[in-house]
Amino acid sequence: MPGNLEIAVLYEPSDNTTPPTDSSGRVRHKERRRTRTRRRWHGPERRQKIDREHVAEALRANGYEVSMYELSDESALLGLAKSKVDLILNMVEAYAGDDSLEAHVAAFLDLLELRYTGADPQALFLAQDKALAKKVFDFHGIRTPRFASVYRGKLDHVDDLEFPLIVKPASEDGSVGIDAGAVVRNLRELMERASMIQEKFDCAALIEEFIEGREIYVGIIGNDKPVALPVVEMDLSKLPDDMPKIAGTEVKWEKGSAAYEATRSAAAKGLGEDVMRRLQDTALQVYSALKLRDYGRVDMRLTPEGRIYVIEANPNPWLAPEAELAIAAGLAGRSYVELIGQIVELALARYAA
């Protein structure tokens, strides 16, 4: 029972809508700006400023005392050592605007022996390094697109690849660095795109075989016996004919564009029970392989022939009421308040074990 338990909602001040660049045009990190107006939901990781407010309201509706803690600077980070709350609901995606430090925040919470929701540092590191995560998938026999990873002329991994390919940053999310030009169909386009990714994002370029198919998301809730939620799909079928069917920046960030207006996330339709079960089973395998906990989301492609390819896993996915996880929870009969309450209960149970 909630009783007098106090939960702090921990968040960073970035508003998460556009990645800033330095004077050379290089993206330093993912610090997207959140807009202050409410927008309809189009896809995963499309953030709004008010997501933490929805979470706080849901926590209060569950009977918890709630405080808000902004991780604004080093002083705020060190101030966590004085925290006396019963649990931290971790919504942090970066520190000092640098999303590569997301896992470090969780590690700091561990050092302070503070209890928090969501993934631990190991899972956050694994999921953020997409090339490493794909190697883990391969080890566990989980189908993922064949790929190569290259940085400054050094190949970290290379499969035998066939065009078309999709080229993206190896350590970004939210479709940062992915647009209509990400899908390449010849060697010249590949070399130009890989060079641009390395220069602009200062990270390895992840080169994958492009999988034609449906964009599928499966949310997972739980720890010892995690449960896969109903399947959600982003419908890309109405994208302009000259655009590849991918959930790129045009779909997620360019409000008012034809791509933005043509896409929706909703319950996946027209899938047989066997396909649904295989998608959910695959998501559970990924959740276990990357050691996610409490909640997460797995992004996949489903081909017309029924083959499933895992694209990536998302620890601590967006918790707004219009996000895929909440959509899936609703399809399973859980209200938004119940979803947030269950995440808290799962975290508390872990620490009580």
Q: Enumerate domains of the chain plus CATH numbers.
A: 6-118 (no CATH), 142-209 (3.30.1490.20), 213-352 (3.30.470.20)
pLDDT exceeds cutoff 60 at 65: yes
Q: How would residue 257 be classed by pLDDT, with cut points 50, 70 and 90?
A: confident
CA distance 160 to 99: 31
- As a whole number, the mean pLDDT across the chain is 88
Closest CA to 318 of 252, 244, 223, 268: 252
Name the more confident of 251 and 292.
292
CA distance 72 to 300: 34
Residues 227-243 pLDDT 10s: 999 999 999 988 888 88
Q: How would residue 326 be classed by pLDDT, with cut points 50, 70 and 90?
A: very high
pTM (predicted TM-score): 0.88
CA distance 160 to 146: 7
Extract the tokens encoding 265. Answer: 């996330």
* pLDDT at residue 174, as a whole number: 63
Mean pLDDT, residues 194-205 taken together: 91
Q: How would residue 44 be classed by pLDDT, with cut points 50, 70 and 90?
A: very low
Helix 324-331 vs helix 336-352: crossing angle, to nearest 10: 100
The torsion region of residue 335 among left (phi > 0), alpha (psi -120 to 50) and beta comes to beta
CA distance 91 to 54: 12
